Amino acid sequence: MTAREPTFGTDGVRGVANRELTAPFALKLGIAAAHILGRHATNRHVIVGRDTRISGDMLEAALNAGLAATGCAVTNVGVVPTPAVSHIVVRLRAAAGAIISASHNPYEDNGIKFLGPDGCKLPDALESEIEDVLANVQDVPWPTGAGIGRIFDAAEGDTVVHGAEDALVHHRAPVMGYVAHVAATAGGPLDGFRLVLDCANGATSYFAPALFADLGADVHVLHASPDGTNINRNCGSTAPQAMCELVRQVGADAGLAFDGDGDRVIMCDEAGRLVDGDRIMAICAVGMKQRGELDGDQVVATIMSNAGLEAFLEAHGIALRRTDVGDRYVAEEMARTGAVLGGEQSGHVIFAHLTRTGDGMVTGLQVLREMRQAQKPLGEIAGNVPVYPQVLRNVPVADRRRWQEVPAVQAAIREARSALERPEWLSVRASGTEPVVRVMAQGRDAAAVESVVSRLCTLIERHGGAI
């Protein structure tokens, strides 16, 4: 039995593979996406990549069939980090990119997200257009004869793209261009660094160990043996404990734990203490400002970032701009304001002068660059960033919207905002990828923060139809 088809959330469409996210749905999504994206592009070339999930082959085949059925030329780049697809889309001047991944979710889940020709995630308006076509996909015209699209495999050097003259230009191994680009962002060799890399049995498993070693680091590798079912299982950025322990055991300078699709990283210092996205942004912002690289002396983060980051940046003359949760909103605000650094506490950090989207390997290299420049251990430079009390809880719900219509819940939210030092230090939102409502509060007073979160969670559970 097939469950209700998924819709676009904060990171594309996601669901349990073969339940919500089925091959027939991926086929229809490919048709709908090609129809809409074709209106906004000068060619019909789409780059498709995926992570290591067992369901990736199935969904890739179905998505590609839908894209080709509507006349798209598809280039499969295989198992690659999400930012690799972004890089290749721009490099080959493709119309769009598609990534088959559920990021940090367990292997049973999968997802599909699209990128525009600029290598960035699609805006909400375009995703809404695709959803509208999905509801009437039978009305999309299908070409015949020579109008049917072809599917190419970049791993075999059979990649095709429409060039400026609309001629077919062949490229070999475009993924290698991405790897070279990442390596170049290091700004120098990593000689003398001893590192632990946790690849989450995901897409970075095939890239990070060799890349960091080729740059000169002494690399100790964890969880880089994907089998289709072990991605993110007790490893990677959502479970970095093993990385922290190995850093202490081998006397490493730092640890880097990537997520399943490689667009984020959580680090730890030489003592095994975690360094999250907030501290990563703080470290890099100060170094970039000192070198004159931080345009506008500003950083973009979401409402979930710790207030300690805000205080630290203010002390260094750097403004923090906040957005709704989601890296796409961070990227949009960065583009609007001209900011070159932004990201999320989860370790999804965007360096706009280097990448179009978050890239865990690039982010890790930028932190190592700051360590090399400062000639100080990570623990010392990260320890300067304060962490204010912050509580985040997930409330399972049957209906992610019902709580928004309950006056008692809304009144309690308004009261909580007035009780905190700053109203923006409270966030109550439905997850875009899971059936939960996320409640986060922060401030200088730990007891007040805990009280606010507990009260709101109880109310939402009562009125949101807890599972």
User: In b/e form, how buried is each residue of 134-148, taking b as 16+ CB within 10 angstroms?
Assistant: beebeebeeeeeeee
Strand order of the β-sheet with 151-153 is 8-9, 12-16, 109-115, 96-100, 45-50, 73-79, 151-153
Question: Which entry of 101, 103, 237, 427 is annotated as an active-site residue?
Answer: 103
Over its C-alpha atoms, the chain yields an Rg (Å, rounded) of: 22
283, 227 Cβ separation under 8 angstroms: no
Burial of 80 (0-12, 13-18, 19+ CB in 10 A): buried
Query: Do residues 416 and 358 make contact, with C-beta atoms less than 8 angstroms apart?
Result: no
55 an active-site residue?
Answer: no
Which amino acid is present at 61? A
Listed in sequence order, the residues at least 6 apart from 147 whose beta carbon sits closer than 8 Å to its beta carbon are 71
Amino acid at 386: P
Q: Is 347 left (phi over 0), alpha (psi -120 to 50) or beta?
A: left
- Kind of pairing between the strands at 254-258 and 426-430: unpaired
User: H helices of 222-326, where?
Assistant: 241-250, 277-290, 307-315
φ/ψ (deg, to 5) at 347: 100, 5
d(CA 33, CA 27): 10
The bridge status of strand 298-302 relative to strand 319-323 is: parallel
| Tokens linked to 223 | 């969880």
78: left (phi over 0), alpha (psi -120 to 50) or beta: left
**Cα(402)–Cα(413) distance, integer angstroms:** 15
Phi-psi region of 236 (alpha: psi -120 to 50; beta: other; left: phi over 0): left
- Bridge-based pairing state of the strands 168-171 and 159-162: antiparallel
Pairing of strands 194-198, 168-171: unpaired
Residue 240 C-alpha from the chain's centroid:
17
**Would you please indicate which residues are annotated as catalytic (active-site) residues?**
103
